[in-house]
Amino acid sequence: MLTIKPAELSPAQLQNYMQYAIAPRPICFATTIDLEGNINLSPFSFFNMFSSNPPICVFSPARRVRDNTTKHTLQNILEVRECVINIVNYAMVQQTSLASTEYAKGVNEFEKAGLTMLPSELVRPPRVAEAPVQMECIVKEIISLGENAGAGNLILAEVKLIHIKEEILDADGKIDQEKIDLVARLGGDWYCRVTPENLFKVAKPLTTLGIGVDALPFDVRNSMELTGNELGMLGNIEHLPSAAEIDEMRNHPAVKEVLDATIGDGSTRTRELHGLAKQFLKQGEVFQALKTVLID
Ligand SMILES: Cc1cc2nc3c(=O)[nH]c(=O)nc-3n(C[C@H](O)[C@H](O)[C@H](O)COP(=O)(O)O)c2cc1C
């Protein structure tokens, strides 16, 4: 394993390792304005939401690693503590990248990138009309993380108004994760796109308490067949099945077939039952899978 002490690398090398590992990162396409009314538009992937009540997003225009200068976005926010956080989808990712060009102060990147300004309702910086979600924000706090090249500046932005394009909503008026077509930044020039075939769900126990992988018998925890993900699914079940439930599972046709075919051969039986459990897990039948691996 490669073990790195940050102090032993140059800021550029360190940034490279961190950006490849801490990925994908959502992109905040931030509109800001200076006191003279010059508009700026720049993307920032050091970005996330950190609170929903109050609704706070944070992004970080860092000091340039190259020459330790600060970004226009930061300079503008120091003058006018307002911004719009526009969310970037696949249809606008090339224009977003173009807007990150180091144009001179006062150059409006909406024009350079060919994007459309849409007046905001509460704040002075305009919204990006093409963005699927646009959030008008008041900057609550600016936290400088240092004076050296690469040092971040946290912009704590409170969301005051959210605009969402209707075409990305589902029948309940919620954002449809398949429709929003998000992109995210990774290391170097890499991006990723959230396509329907890349989306999957992980059942999250909200009010329930999973038994935990440690509650599974030794042979299940150390199965040659079951992966960490599969053990995680089994450990998410709230209670172990009763002896009667496990016994009943012996009558399931697929289980019965394995049991009949492996009489006197314990290791093959275990392997095949675990293989069968994998099939149940694939079909989302987690309790069936748990009962199957618990058959003696
Ligand atoms: C997708 C993307 C994400 C970026 N994320 C950041 C970031 O999080 N922090 C940063 O300082 N620069 C980031 N950059 C670079 C800035 O966008 C770039 O320096 C920009 O020119 C700053 O503009 P400004 O000086 O007009 O504010 C990113 C660039 C791209 C294309």
DSSP string, 82-142: EEEEEEPBGGGHHHHHHTTS-PPTT--HHHHHT--EE--SSSSSPEETT-SEEEEEEEEEE
Residue 289 · residue 281 · CB < 8 Å: yes
Residues 169 and 30 both lie in one domain: yes
Residues 59 and 134 both lie in one domain: yes
CA dist., res. 209 & res. 200, Å (int): 22
Q: Report pLDDT for 296.
A: 85
Write the CATH number for 77.
2.30.110.10
Q: Which of 140, 161, 196 is a domain's end point? A: 196
Q: Which of 196, 224, 255 is a domain's end point? A: 196
Which residues lie closer than 8 Å to 280 by C-beta, 6 or more apart? 286, 288, 289, 292
Residues 40 and 161 both lie in one domain: yes
Q: Which of 32, 45, 103 to mutate to test the pocket of ligand 1 (most atoms within 8 A of CB)?
A: 45
CA dist., res. 277 & res. 206, Å (int): 25
From the CA of 238, how far away is ligand 1's center (Å)? 45
DSSP 182: B
Residues 27 and 157 both lie in one domain: yes
CA dist., res. 251 & res. 257, Å (int): 9
Identity of the amino acid at 134: Q
DSSP string, 204-255: --SS-----GGGS-HHHHT-SS--HHHHHHHHTSSSPPPHHHHHHHTTSHHH
In a domain, 208, yes or no: no
Q: Report pLDDT for 208.
A: 77
Q: Which of 148, 166, 196 is a domain's end point? A: 196
Q: Report pLDDT for 229.
A: 97
CA dist., res. 109 & res. 115, Å (int): 8
Which residues lie closer than 8 Å to 282 by C-beta, 6 or more apart? none
Residue 42 · residue 99 · CB < 8 Å: yes
Residues 220 and 83 both lie in one domain: no
From the CA of 100, how far away is ligand 1's center (Å)? 5
Token code pair at residue 180: 């929003």
Residues with CB under 6 A from ligand 1: 27, 40, 42-46, 60-62, 71-73, 97, 100, 102, 185
Model confidence, pTM? 0.91
User: Residue 26, SS3?
Assistant: strand
Q: Which residue stretches of the chain have pLDDT < 50?
A: none
CA dist., res. 240 & res. 283, Å (int): 20
Q: How far apart are the first and last CA of the chain?
A: 39
Residues 117 and 235 both lie in one domain: no
Q: What is the CA radius of gyration of the chain?
A: 26
Tally the domains of the chain.
Answer: 2
Q: Report pLDDT for 248.
A: 97
Pairing type for strands 82-87 and 25-26 reads: unpaired
Residues 144 and 179 both lie in one domain: yes
Residues 227 and 176 both lie in one domain: no
Residues 169 and 237 both lie in one domain: no
In a domain, 205, yes or no: no
Token code pair at residue 226: 């079951």
Residues 20 and 140 both lie in one domain: yes
From the CA of 44, how far away is ligand 1's center (Å)? 5
Domain span including residue 225? 213-293
From the CA of 25, how far away is ligand 1's center (Å)? 13
Q: Report pLDDT for 206.
A: 65
